[in-house]
Every structure is written in structure tokens, then in C-alpha cells.
């Protein structure tokens, strides 16, 4: 599936560079999530935000919080 994240690394602030299974890549700015609260409340702490993994083709924080890969693709590839 083209939305599958195959590589991602933290750049700065709330920006992450990522590459998708279809070879497309880009930078996503996820700063808008710091204002959402709820499951994203910890995004206000940059050290928490920087500590993500790739699980099942999407970014995951603490093994519980994730962002839909199609949303990441949309933001990265535009």
C-alpha cells in the first residue's frame, strides 16, 4: 500500500522526514497536533514527540498513539 511509512526521522521542532512504500517522500509538520489534547496531549513535550517508532507502516508514540498513514502521506506528498 502506498501509504505505508518505511522510513522516518526527526528533523526539528515538530517536523519529521518520511519515506513511503511507493518511494515518495516529504516532510510533515505535526505541530497542529500539540493543540488537540486528548491522546495527543503529550505532544506538547518535544522529547515525547521525538520518541516515535514505525509500527505497521505508521508512526506510533508509546505503542498507543498513532496518526493514520494516509494522513501522513497527504501532508508529506501534498
Which domains, from first to last, does the chain contain?
5-77 (3.30.2020.10)
Question: Which residues on adjacent β-strands are paired with residue 52?
Answer: 61
Rounded CA-CA distance 1/21 in Å is 7
Mean pLDDT (the chain) is 96
| pTM, to two decimals | 0.93
Q: How far apart are CA 13 and CA 38, in angstroms?
A: 20
* Per-residue model confidence (pLDDT) at position 57: 95
Phi-psi region of 19 (alpha: psi -120 to 50; beta: other; left: phi over 0): beta
What are the pLDDT digits (tens) for 31-65? 999 999 999 999 999 999 999 999 999 999 999 99
Amino acid at each position: 500500500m502506498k501509504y505505508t511509512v518505511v522510513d522516518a526521522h526527526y528533523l526539528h521542532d515538530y517536523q519529521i522526514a518520511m519515506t513511503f512504500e511507493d518511494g515518495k517522500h516529504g516532510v510533515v509538520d505535526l505541530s497542529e497536533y500539540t493543540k488537540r489534547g486528548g491522546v495527543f496531549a503529550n505532544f506538547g513535550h518535544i522529547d515525547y514527540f521525538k520518541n516515535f517508532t514505525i509500527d505497521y507502516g505508521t508512526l506510533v508514540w508509546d505503542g498507543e498513539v498513532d496518526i493514520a498513514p494516509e494522513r501522513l502521506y497527504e501532508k508529506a506528498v501534498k
